[in-house]
Structure 1
Amino acid sequence: MMAFFYCLLAVFEQINAQTNTSTIVEGVNVIEQPLGLPKTDIRVIAARIIQIALSLLGIITVVLIMYGGFIWMTAGGNDEQIGRAKKILVNATIGLAIILSAYAITLFIFRMLGVGDGQGGPTYPAPGSQHFAGSGALGQIIKDHYPERDQVDVPRNTKIVVSFRRPILASSTIMDTNGNGIFGDCLTSAVNFSWSDETICDRIRTNDGKIAKSGSEQGMLNDKYINIKQTDTGTSIVGGAVLAPVTKENNVEGVYTLIIVPLTDLSKTSGGYLGNSVSKLGYTVHLGSEIRLDDALNSHPRAFDSSNLGNNYYEWNFKTDTSLDINPPTVKSVYPLANSVAPKNSIIQINFSEPMDPTGIQGGFASGTQEYYLQNGFIYLKTTNTSAPLGSFKLTNGYRTLEFASSVECSEKNACGNPMYCLPVCDLSGTCPKVLVSTGKANKYESVEADSYSLMLKTAQTFGLASFESKPFTGIADLAGNALDGDADDAVDIATSTTPVFDNQLAPDNYFWKFMIKDKMDLASPYMTKLTPGPDAGNVVPNQELSMNFTKPMRTDSMYNIKLEEYAHSGPQSAIPVCYVPRVYVYTDWTYTKIQHCDFLFASRYDYLPIVPSEVEDVNFNCYYPGLGPDKLDLKSATKDSTVCNGSSNCCDVSTTTPGKGDLCCNGSSKNDAGQTFNSSTCRSYINSY
């Protein structure tokens, strides 16, 4: 049995995940999967035996009743035979009552032991006190990866991507086989480009530094570094070409993401594909103990610390489909919306239809002759009277969402006292146009300065008009190498490459849109309207959905600040933390966030504490503060959903310590409609008036 508690925090510092102490676990969960042992608990076996025995007795009882009825019906008035039939029926009925009582008692005991829900619902898997070995790093040092854990029907021509929360030492897991002094790159200017050619693309490090020269040389990869192997046989693929782009996170520059092209056939320029066209194959990706962090001050420690993660490695499984991905990616939504006017404390957000290749779409802008362009990338920006915004693009949310966040602090801070970041507006010489925008009040508008922003995403070059298969390093593509379908018409359109970009290249299959940034800020905080499961929910299933709804479009990268902690009521704490990763779906005026997680444990009662901190922010850097959200379980939906917050009955305490903001009312504002600063009393009155 498990219970959920929610911590909806309004804090002004980073929340650290719980550090688990490694313990010696008396059990077999950690070794059962590597050894191929069954993981059926002894209680489950006993339950099944009792159920089978009671079922057999029930069948016998039913047969006896039928037999007694047969004797009675064929008695032909014989009193002796009728009396014998009555005795059979009475004894069989008593036996049936005893069997049913025994079954009810057994079912009750099973439910108390956590073997089943006792209500004819799903039967829980074998109780355990450990998560699957090697899973604990996801949600800790591992930020995200593709393919996802246990994903099925993965296209055979996919790349494998892994993102870390801290920069890694590229040389610890990559060999500079092209000899240019950079660990994790390809010579993109090569005349005959081939992923298979180690003199063009760097490779995954091997134990002895040897490189496979043909498809017959198997087993070069090993578990010390990065291994990609068939799950059933343990046979490693030939190798992997690796890209390790340098990006900046939290003002720290380094290698956060590895992009791996699996090599299975060195005779092909594509490097071959995973799996085959006949049957679906399972693969395991193993990130080993020799992967190091780029932290010279601490002697480049290992990325995977077993004292915190339970293991000194991370691994996951996925299964390929029998076909290739030939479908192009499209843009599903953008923020700011096309032709809209957005506040200057906005991010730029692009949501794609599928995971994208990070190559050439992360980083910051540089100035060109007539536009700004992404350094070493494929994104272009043009403004009227505004300089190139400082900041960077980051691919996040399972590699489906691209977000640009400015690095220039605004004049005001958010409700938590943390910096907000603003895009420039008319900071160059010239006349800045004014636009009429709503004040947020009924039929009230104001005139503010605003400048136009035009963005273009350059699609990759295809080999022809017949398919979206693209040439590497020529533009934006998905992880299977399909070029972006800018107009989503499922037809290859080739735009010119003639400069200037914004005079000539605004054509399919490039994607482009225009919006305006106004010299005003959005200061309204987001809050939560729904939780699944609700607070204090109990008896949830191991794969229970964990999700939440927010009232505004949210910054997807901030969702990685959500934590999921696990506590055991009795018995040892799991040495391996529960793994988790967010998946975010952003809509025009709200956001749905689902936390994908490893199965919850059932060996004894466990409590799970999802923590939604104030570092969770909307697309305007407004923090999740106050910690406003549902506060009780919706009995109508049992353990599944919480009640929707109505804004008044679940109001958090206001704060007088927020720098420069004074008391903060539960509507996310520090002032009322008249512009007067709230205090605790007037805040409550304001909320109760609605």
Structure 2
Amino acid sequence: MLVTRKKLFYLKITALFFIFVMAVIFLLPNISSAQVDTGLSYMEDSGLATTDVRVVIARIIKIALGLLGTVAVVIILYGGFVWMTAGGNEDKVAQAKKVLLNGAIGLAIIIFAFSIASFVLNALTGATSVHIGEGGTTVPSESLSTGGLGRIIQSHYPGRDARDVARNTKIVVTFKEPIDASTIIKDGDDEGEEIGDSPSDRILTESVRIVKKGDSLEAGPFVEASAMVMEDQKTFRFKPIKWLGNASQDTEYIIYLSNDILKANGDKAFSQADKCEGMSGAYCWEFTVSTFADTTPPKVTSVFPLADTTVARNAIVQVNFSEAVDPISIKNINIIDIDIAGQDENILKGFHSISNEYKTVEFITNDLCGINSCGQDVFCLPKDINWLATVKSIDPDHVDFPYSGIVDMADNPLDGNGNGVVDYTAKTENTPAETDDYVWEFSTNDTIDLTPPKIEKLIHHNKDESLSDIVSPPLVGEVDVIDNVHLKEPIEIYFSKVMMSSTINNSNIFIGDPRPEIIFEGATEGVPWYGWFYPSSSNISEEIDGQNVSKTCVYFKHAIFYENSGYYPSISSRLKDIYQNCFWQPCKKEAGENPGVNCDIVPGPEVLIPNL
């Protein structure tokens, strides 16, 4: 009778566990079959935990299977104990065999169930989003979290899902607000150096982790890298001590920024809405390193003001490169008054910024000369001056840090004359050093350019890969629905003037709707889109009335849109042209124009709403 009851007990346990596994397999896929991401940010205000429900399920199943596995092992041990203490009693030996058999069958079922559950959960969480077992959590192949670059991340290099990245690359992250460098950088103890100013400084692996995909984010091994920060305390550059990857096959890497990073004011840099697939208050992305090193020097592709032209005083000097350059080296762009002797002592004072995926550097003076129509400060060059602008290459007598010229993300110096090699000669007793600089001249007059930029046309890819032009986009407050937009290809926005690259970012050009009363036809009400998006740009030249006129095209890149959903790309009045005029179409502060719209706080209503 006792044996029969035990059999019934084991049978019930097995049946209940089988029902549980079947529920996981057949019910959870139905719950997850909708192809929209409802996000997790709605939980924040409730004060409850914001952990992804898929991760919670994975943890519950892991604990349950662990407990059952422990029970199975105990049963097997008990069977062995009965056998060893049977003393030749055939009944006890038979009982022990049955216990061992039942324990082995139970353990096999548990292992089989663990395999099935792991497969299903991996499918639900995006293949590699949750690693169940030893070693901690690994990162998914694509994170569709908040805003694509996180709420505080402005940009980073390499980009998300970048391919064919050079082995000798550096890694750069730019934040939207100043960051406490001591929460990212470990001081190398160089005397007289501030934290982040020395190549001996290292990344804090509690805050920044560089790992091969598949390795543990918690245990490593981590890539060792030096760390430096720009003066604005927003842009951090990490240089691996050893080259990434190997010479035989491509290698995938993951960058993880933790919630240990603090703003300069002491607040957490990442909010709970910033997620690294199951880990709140964090940000991560991945890229693939090739088998080759980068030995190609960067070139200058375009400049503003153009060579031998005269521009208004409120112009910004802009230099565009063929590839991303090291932000630590961008101060090697100098503007000098040609007519003043002692040029090295008369370099124009101002501020350098880097943007456009680290391919554009802009120089703006310190001379505050007014405000634009949106109430933003405007800085001017001195009037009626002939200027000599120099983008410096490396001095052959000073090739190491601190950089004496522009270098790219692989430390290749500037190819100023664009012939494919870096031409320089070292200094001798009789001849000075010659460097491969890029040099041009321009002039300023006594005028101020007050013409605001406008959108001339929009171009989007249709779902059949063809292109559609939209001329004369809607004005303030108007809504225009555009159908048949490609779910993946970028949207192109053509402006009437050259734009200030440092204002073309995911804070000023974004996807969202500041007017909650608008409901889009076909959109799923209450379901936000948590895909990444970021704009990049290039300057183009058009011939108008026999003259070449430079303009800017913005490429609005984004994650895959949902089918049959409405989106509202918006452009803020904080977007400026090269003369620091704010974007006209969102709003202006003159009386009678868009009354009640505050340019400084609320981005204006925008240009297009693809109804996909």
TM-score interval for Structure 1 and Structure 2 normalised by the shorter chain: 0.5 to 0.7
Question: Residue 306 of structure 1 aligns to a residue in which SS?
Answer: coil
* 1:526 match: 453
Shift of 1:353: 0.4
Q: Please provide the CA RMSD for this pair.
A: 3.9
Question: Residue 487 of structure 1 aligns to a residue in which SS?
Answer: coil
Pick the aligned partner of 1:459 from 385, 389, 393.
393
Mapping 1:119-130, distance limit 5 Å: none
Indicate how the Cα distance of structure 1 residues 134 and 286 shifts in structure 2: closer, same or farther if over 3 A, else same.
farther
Contact 2:500 2:577 survives alignment (8 Å): yes
Q: Take 1:20 and 1:406, find their aligned partners in 2: how far apart are those partners?
A: 41
Q: Give 1:554's aligned amino acid.
A: M
Contact 2:374 2:588 survives alignment (8 Å): no
* 1:597 match: 558
Q: Give 1:361's aligned amino acid.
A: I
Question: Residue 37 of structure 1 aligns to a residue in which SS?
Answer: helix
* 2:230 match: 245
Q: Take 2:354 and 2:158, find their aligned partners in 1: how far apart are those partners?
A: 15
Pick the aligned partner of 1:570 from 524, 539, 545.
524
Q: Take 1:312 and 1:34, find their aligned partners in 2: how far apart are those partners?
A: 27
* 1:410 match: 369
Q: Give 1:557's aligned amino acid.
A: S
Pick the aligned partner of 2:159 from 141, 148, 151.
148
Deviation readout 1:347-399 (Å, 9 max, x if unpaired): 0000000000011324xxxxxxxxxxxxxx56352343697644301011111
Shift of 1:504: 6.8
Contact 2:211 2:223 survives alignment (8 Å): no
Shift of 1:451: 1.2
Q: Take 2:119 and 2:237, find their aligned partners in 1: how far apart are those partners?
A: 27
Q: Take 2:301 and 2:187, find their aligned partners in 1: how far apart are those partners?
A: 38
Q: Take 1:593 and 1:498, find their aligned partners in 2: how far apart are those partners?
A: 47
Pick the aligned partner of 1:302 from 256, 261, 268.
268
Shift of 1:550: 0.5
Q: Give 2:239's aligned amino acid.
A: V
Shift of 1:39: 4.8
Q: Take 2:559 and 2:166, find their aligned partners in 1: how far apart are those partners?
A: 23
Whether 1:38 and 2:8 are equivalent positions in the alignment is no
Deviation readout 1:236-288 (Å, 9 max, x if unpaired): 334111011212xxxxxxx10110011xxxxxxxx321111110111011111
Shift of 1:536: 1.7
* 2:410 match: 480
* 1:492 match: 422
Which of 1 and 2 has higher RCO (CA within 8 Å, sep 6+)? 1
Whether 1:516 and 2:516 are equivalent positions in the alignment is no
* 1:118 match: none
Contact 2:334 2:347 survives alignment (8 Å): no
Q: Take 1:347 and 1:410, find their aligned partners in 2: how far apart are those partners?
A: 13
Indicate how the Cα distance of structure 1 residues 259 and 527 shifts in structure 2: closer, same or farther if over 3 A, else same.
same
* 2:197 match: 185
Shift of 1:342: 0.9
Structure 1 vs Structure 2: percent identity of aligned residues?
A: 29
Indicate how the Cα distance of structure 1 residues 135 and 240 shifts in structure 2: closer, same or farther if over 3 A, else same.
farther
Shift of 1:496: 6.0
Pick the aligned partner of 1:286 from 234, 256, 260.
256
Question: Residue 329 of structure 2 aligns to a residue in which SS?
Answer: coil
Whether 1:381 and 2:336 are equivalent positions in the alignment is yes
Question: Residue 504 of structure 2 aligns to a residue in which SS?
Answer: helix
Whether 1:421 and 2:379 are equivalent positions in the alignment is yes
Shift of 1:408: 2.6
Q: Take 1:31 and 1:541, find their aligned partners in 2: how far apart are those partners?
A: 35
- Give TM-score scaled by structure 2 length: 0.63
Indicate how the Cα distance of structure 1 residues 378 and 555 shifts in structure 2: closer, same or farther if over 3 A, else same.
closer
Shift of 1:522: 1.5
Deviation readout 1:591-617 (Å, 9 max, x if unpaired): 110122223235xx5322111122211
Question: Residue 608 of structure 1 aligns to a residue in which SS?
Answer: coil
Shift of 1:498: 9.5
Contact 1:344 1:521 survives alignment (8 Å): yes
Mapping 1:119-268, distance limit 5 Å: 132=143, 136=147, 138=149, 140-180=151-191, 182-186=194-198, 201-206=200-205, 224-234=206-216, 235-247=220-232, 255-262=233-240
Indicate how the Cα distance of structure 1 residues 495 and 318 shifts in structure 2: closer, same or farther if over 3 A, else same.
same
Shift of 1:334: 0.5
Indicate how the Cα distance of structure 1 residues 608 and 25 shifts in structure 2: closer, same or farther if over 3 A, else same.
farther
Q: Give 1:580's aligned amino acid.
A: F
Question: Residue 182 of structure 2 aligns to a residue in which SS?
Answer: helix
Q: Take 2:354 and 2:119, find their aligned partners in 1: how far apart are those partners?
A: 34
Contact 2:297 2:422 survives alignment (8 Å): no
Q: Give 1:274's aligned amino acid.
A: L
Q: Take 1:153 and 1:37, find their aligned partners in 2: how far apart are those partners?
A: 27
Q: Take 1:28 and 1:543, find their aligned partners in 2: how far apart are those partners?
A: 26
Shift of 1:472: 6.0
Whether 1:656 and 2:591 are equivalent positions in the alignment is yes
Q: Take 1:524 and 1:227, find their aligned partners in 2: how far apart are those partners?
A: 46
Deviation readout 1:6-65 (Å, 9 max, x if unpaired): xxxxxxxxxxxxx96446698759999999722599xxxxxxxxxxxxxxxxxxxxxxxx
* 1:395 match: 354
Q: Take 1:385 and 1:508, find their aligned partners in 2: how far apart are those partners?
A: 22
Shift of 1:622: 1.7
Aligned residue pair count: 434
Deviation readout 1:131-160 (Å, 9 max, x if unpaired): 825564616310010000001000110000
